């Protein structure tokens, strides 16, 4: 508890400057980097539906351990989602310490963002807002991955989006996640001088351009995949609960294949 208080006050009990704020800042950066890279990979994996239902099926089985287990185990998805949730909560707690809790702090932030037109401050506010949204919507999504890991697959995911009416949640969550992750990776590059080069102003401008390109790319890919799941769910609505089996597998009972 003492170390947390030091982190907020910036001083030790004896009055000397504490290193805890810097440590917390590094932990926030590392956790944000890991989560940001996870989101990038997650976007590619969930968009495998654009390559066809079989590609998405094989990808889902990969995360259930099909590359080293004879029988894929959905529990592995639950464990992975639990680790992400824990890291997500830690990152959120570390980020909240920088929120402007006092009116005076908010006025300074607002002045920098709008009166002075400081783009990076506006981007920080976008991160704060999307982080707040993600805390609720992202927790719902992660809990579903923990509690029903067997319901991930071409048909199961499409049914959840269309028939279970979760498509609207994913529409909002994707916007928040993409903005938060892409903006966060950009701000990390500026903060730690990654890809900035010898001319910081030019480097920041270049990194910001890459940020917008990445945001557009992942938005098109992600929402195209979401639309594909939505349409698939619509066509599959009369067979709700049926599980996908790849064409090479005999169509016997569907209940034993969690996909």
Tokens read off for 128:
């704060």
Name the least confident of 96-105, 182-191, 230-239. Answer: 96-105
User: What's the domain count of the chain?
Assistant: 1
Contacts of 92 (CB under 8 A, 6+ apart): 131, 135
Q: What is the mean pLDDT of the chain?
A: 85
Highest mean pLDDT among 117-131, 191-205, 217-231: 217-231
Q: Over range 192-212, report the average pLDDT.
A: 84
pLDDT of residue 118: 63
Tokens read off for 86:
């824990």
pLDDT at 2 over 70: no
pLDDT at 196 over 80: no
The answer to the question of residue 215 being in a domain is yes
From CA 158, how far away is CA 155, in angstroms rounded?
5
Owning domain of residue 193: 26-239
Enter the pTM of the model.
0.81
The answer to the question of residue 192 being in a domain is yes
pLDDT at 242 over 60: yes
Q: Over range 99-105, report the average pLDDT.
A: 64
Contacts of 10 (CB under 8 A, 6+ apart): 17, 18, 21
- Residue range 115-151, pLDDT digits in tens: 655 677 788 888 888 999 998 999 999 999 999 999 9
Q: What is the CATH number of the domain that holds 137?
A: 1.20.1300.10
Contacts of 173 (CB under 8 A, 6+ apart): 133, 134, 137, 138, 141
The answer to the question of residue 6 being in a domain is no
The answer to the question of residue 219 being in a domain is yes
Higher pLDDT, 165 or 248: 165
Q: Over range 163-176, report the average pLDDT.
A: 95
Question: How many angstroms separate the most distant Cα atoms in the chain?
Answer: 73
């Amino acid at each position: 508890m003492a170390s947390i208080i030091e982190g907020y006050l910036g001083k030790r009990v004896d009055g000397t400057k504490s290193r805890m704020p810097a440590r917390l800042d590094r932990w926030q950066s590392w956790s944000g980097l890991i989560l940001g890279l996870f989101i990038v990979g997650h976007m590619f994996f969930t968009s495998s539906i654009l390559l066809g239902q079989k590609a998405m099926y094989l990808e889902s089985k990969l995360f259930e351990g099909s590359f080293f287990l004879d029988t894929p185990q959905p529990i592995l998805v639950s464990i992975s989602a639990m680790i992400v949730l824990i890291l997500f909560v830690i990152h959120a707690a570390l980020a909240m310490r920088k929120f402007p809790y006092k009116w005076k702090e908010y006025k300074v932030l607002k002045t920098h963002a709008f009166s002075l037109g400081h783009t990076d401050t506006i981007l920080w506010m976008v991160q704060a807002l999307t982080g707040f949204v993600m805390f609720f919507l992202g927790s719902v999504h992660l809990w579903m991955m923990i509690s029903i890991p067997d319901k991930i697959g071409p048909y199961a995911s499409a049914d959840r989006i269309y028939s279970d009416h979760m498509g609207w949640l994913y529409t909002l969550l994707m916007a928040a996640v993409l903005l938060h992750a892409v903006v966060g990776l950009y701000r990390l590059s500026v903060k730690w001088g990654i890809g900035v080069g010898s001319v910081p102003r030019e480097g920041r401008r270049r990194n910001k351009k890459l940020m917008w390109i990445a945001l557009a790319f992942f938005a098109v890919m992600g929402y195209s995949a979401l639309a594909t799941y939505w349409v698939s769910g619509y066509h599959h609505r009369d067979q709700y609960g049926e599980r996908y089996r790849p064409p090479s597998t005999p169509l016997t009972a569907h209940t034993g294949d969690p996909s």
